[in-house]
Amino acid sequence: MTEPAVASDTTVPGVTTVPGVKTVPGVDRTHVRPACECRNLSVDLESAQGTQRILAGVDFEVGEAEFVSVMGRSGSGKTTLLRAVGGLLDPATDSTVTFHGQPVLGPPDGVVFVFQNYAASLLPWRTVEKNVALGLEGKVAKAEMHQRVAEALAMVGLADRAKDYPWRLSGGMQQRVQLARALAMRPRALLMDEPFGALDAMTKGALQDELQRVQERTRATVVFVTHDIDEAVYLSDRIVILEGGPATVAHRIDVNLPRPRDQLATKELPEFLRLRRQVYDAIVHRDD
């Protein structure tokens, strides 16, 4: 992979890109290159009480094809971090946010969000397939668009609902449509903001496994915001916990559970239970 010329004047400490060296994704795990990286990230947001600093000096990085969950109590700036990574908001001046070495000044090419509120994120006047095609229209040829839409819908198991309107589908299916819309863009990174937070337990489990399979296939980097400890441990390679107001990264927890993971077998592993407790303690501070 060759980075465009812009990268030269925006070298970030800690990022080592070796020109000319080709890494095969998923094989050479010792030199995982960072996909998303934040250095000294601070974010101020306007609120009713005036300007408020939400994040202060956050260092955060996600390797290529890595699955990282961001956790923390409510109001700890998880969503804010995700939005900064995805270029949906402007960080404070001395912060650095990069995506594959390029500074993030707006939503970067190859990064797609999946939002929690699926109903509000789909266009009710468009059919499922037209919703999925939304990001491709006018950017790729018609034939390729149709092929990519069909592929994305097949990947989330909705090929037979292509002509339906989204409001005819169940919540789980609507969230699948949103996932398909992101996948049709062939993203290098998926930023997911509590995507399964509004779904019932069974649907949630099914979608977690689907996401797992999709990531396996596409090798996309995933940054995943969630409240659900089991979900974070089940899906992630690493869990990052935010804390404080303004928030910083308080804990980084590696999750070394074998893949592919299984809703029953993985969750019965002693290591799963140990991690679950570790994350819980880190968030809740039972020893305080």
Query: Contact positions toward another protein, by CB under 8 A?
Result: 86, 88, 106-107, 109, 111-113, 115, 117, 120-121, 123-125, 134-135, 137-138, 165, 167-168, 181, 185, 191
CA dihedral sign, ordered 173, 212, 236, 90: negative
Are the beta carbons of 17 and 33 closer than 8 angstroms? yes
Are the beta carbons of 86 and 185 closer than 8 angstroms? no
Q: Cα–Cα distance between 11 and 186 in angstroms, integer? A: 26
Complex with another protein: residue 156 or 279, whichever CB lies closer: 156
**Shortest Cβ distance from residue 112 to another protein (Å)?**
6
Calculate Rg over the CA atoms of the chain: 19
**Shortest Cβ distance from residue 85 to another protein (Å)?**
12
**Shortest Cβ distance from residue 202 to another protein (Å)?**
25
**Shortest Cβ distance from residue 98 to another protein (Å)?**
18
Complex with another protein: residue 38 or 275, whichever CB lies closer: 38
**Shortest Cβ distance from residue 201 to another protein (Å)?**
24
Complex with another protein: residue 115 or 280, whichever CB lies closer: 115
- Identify residue 198 by its one-letter amino acid code: A
- Which strand (E) or helix (H) includes residue 113? strand 111-114
Distance of CA 110 to the CA centre of its chain: 12
201 by Cβ neighbours in 10 Å (0-12 / 13-18 / 19+) ranks as: exposed
Complex with another protein: residue 88 or 206, whichever CB lies closer: 88
**Shortest Cβ distance from residue 183 to another protein (Å)?**
13
**Shortest Cβ distance from residue 11 to another protein (Å)?**
25
Are the beta carbons of 123 and 181 closer than 8 angstroms? no
Complex with another protein: residue 76 or 131, whichever CB lies closer: 131
Complex with another protein: residue 56 or 82, whichever CB lies closer: 82
Complex with another protein: residue 106 or 270, whichever CB lies closer: 106
DSSP string, 8-77: GGG--TT----TT----TTT-GGGPPEEEEEEEEEEEEEETTEEEEEEEEEEEEEETT-EEEEE-STTSS
**Shortest Cβ distance from residue 283 to another protein (Å)?**
26
CB-based contacts of 31, cutoff 8 Å, min separation 6: 16, 23
Q: Cα–Cα distance between 78 and 54 in angstroms, integer? A: 10
Complex with another protein: residue 113 or 272, whichever CB lies closer: 113
